[in-house]
Amino acid sequence: MPNQVDMTVNLAGMVMKNPVCVASGTYGFGREYGQFYDLSEIGGICAKGLTLHRREGNPAPRIAETPMGILNSVGLQNPGVDAFIEHELPYLRQFDVKVIANISGNTPEEYGIMCEKLAEAGVDMIEVNISCPNVKAGGLAYGTRPELAAEVTREAKAHAGPVPVMVKLSPNVTDITDIAKAVADAGADALSLINTLRGMRIDVNTNRPVLKMNTGGLSGPAVLPVAVRMVWEVAQAVNLPILGMGGVSKGEDAAQLMLAGATAVAVGTAMFADPFAPIAVRDGLADIAQRKGLTAVAQLTGAVQPW
C-alpha cells in the first residue's frame, strides 16, 4: 500500500515538501551530496555558515571522533557571503529545495549587512547563528545572554525584508528558554536548536587535547536526548515554529523532536557516515506517521503526552 501521508510542513511561512532539512556545516553547499542523489529529495538545505568576509577557519586537527558522535572546531571556514551569493546560490537554485542561509557575525552590524545581501539575493530563510564570539562583549557569545541575543535578532529582522529570520540557539546555557523568549520578543520568525554542546577529549599518550583549539562542539547521537528536552522546553515557552536538530540519524529520532514540538528537523553528523541519511529519515517519518494513522506528518508536532 503506497504511503498517503501529506509530508508538507510550514516553517514560518516557508512551505517545505517534507520536514527534513540538512544542518548547517554538515552539507557544505550541497555539491558533494548532489553526486549521490537529487537535492530536490529533501525539504531544505541549511548552507554552511557564512561570515561577512572569507574565513580560513581554525588550524588542524579540528575534527575528531568521540563515542556516539564527533567533536569539531572547524572555525566557520567559508568563502564569505558575497562568494556564496555569486557562486553557490545559483547552483542550489537548480533544485526544488528551500535554501536557508546560515550567518555568523562579530557585531550586530555585520549580521545586518549579511541579512540585507541575502534577502536581496532571494534566499528562502536566514538562520542567524548567535553561538559565536561577540567582539564588543569581550568574547562572550551572543547566544548566552538574552539582551545580546535580542539585539542581534532585532538587527537581523530590520535588514531581512520579507525573508523569515530563524535564530539558532546554543545549548551551552543555564536555561535555554530565557534566550528563546528574548529572541521571540525581538521579532524572530522561527528558532532552530540545538547547536553543538561544548566538549573536550584528551589523548592520554601525548597528554594533549585531540583538537588544536582544545575544545570543540559535540554533535551526533550522544546529544539527541538533550536536543529533545530543549525543544520540548522551548516549545512550552514560546509560540514560534522550531527546526529541531541534534543527533538525528533515523525516522524515530526525528519523530521524537517533532513530538516534542518541532515543526521540521535537520540531519547533520549522521551524513558523515551515510550520505543518504536525510532520505532515510524522511521515509522513516512517513512510515511512523502512517503507522499512527495520521493524514499529515505535521500532526506529529507537539503531540507528546507527558506523564
What structural domains does the chain harbor?
9-57+72-200+217-300 (3.20.20.70)
Q: Which of 21, 46, 115, 132 is catalytic?
A: 132
Region at 6 (left for phi over 0; alpha for psi -120 to 50; beta for the rest): beta
> What is the three-class DSSP state of 11?
strand
**Tens digits of residue pLDDT in 179-193:** 999 999 999 999 999
C-alpha cell recorded at residue 263: 515543526
- 2 pLDDT band (50/70/90 cuts)? low
Contact present, 72 and 196 (Cβ < 8 Å): yes
pLDDT tens-digit map of 229-255? 999 999 999 999 999 999 999 999 999
Which residues pair with residue 218 across a beta bridge?
71, 197
Which tens digits make up the pLDDT trace of 91-101? 999 999 999 99
Q: Helix 277-291 and helix 251-260: axis angle, to 10°?
A: 60
What is the Cα–Cα distance from 260 to 274, expressed in whole angstroms?
Answer: 25
pLDDT score recorded for residue 3: 73
Average pLDDT rounded to a whole number, residues 199-219: 97
Q: Is 132 a catalytic residue?
A: yes
Q: Is 245 helix (H, G, I), strand (E, B) or coil?
A: strand
Residue 128: beta bridge partners?
103, 167
Between CA 158 and CA 114 the distance in angstroms is 12
Question: Which of 27, 46, 35 shows the shortest CA–CA distance to 265?
Answer: 46
Quote the pLDDT of residue 131.
Answer: 80
